[in-house]
Amino acid sequence: MNAKVLAIPIGTVMSRLCRARGALRGLLEAAKEQPRLRSVKCAMKRNFPTNG
């Protein structure tokens, strides 16, 4: 979408884009500080002895 479609001034569009980029940057920085989950091998893939 652009300013013509929304019928708003281009300055408003640019301002909103700037704020959105700042908000996204903040979310990404916060996500960097969060500990990541580690993947664990599934025990079901191992060959366990069966009864039989």
Instruction: Tell me the domain boundaries of the chain.
Output: 1-31
pLDDT of residue 35: 78
For 28-38, give one letter per residue: b (16+ CB within 10 A) or e: eeeeeeeeeee
Residue 13 CB contacts under 8 Å (≥ 6 apart), including other chains: 2, 3, 6
pLDDT for res 17: 94
Higher pLDDT, 48 or 38: 38
pLDDT digits (tens, 9 = 90+) for 5-44: 889 999 999 999 999 999 999 999 988 887 777 777 766 6
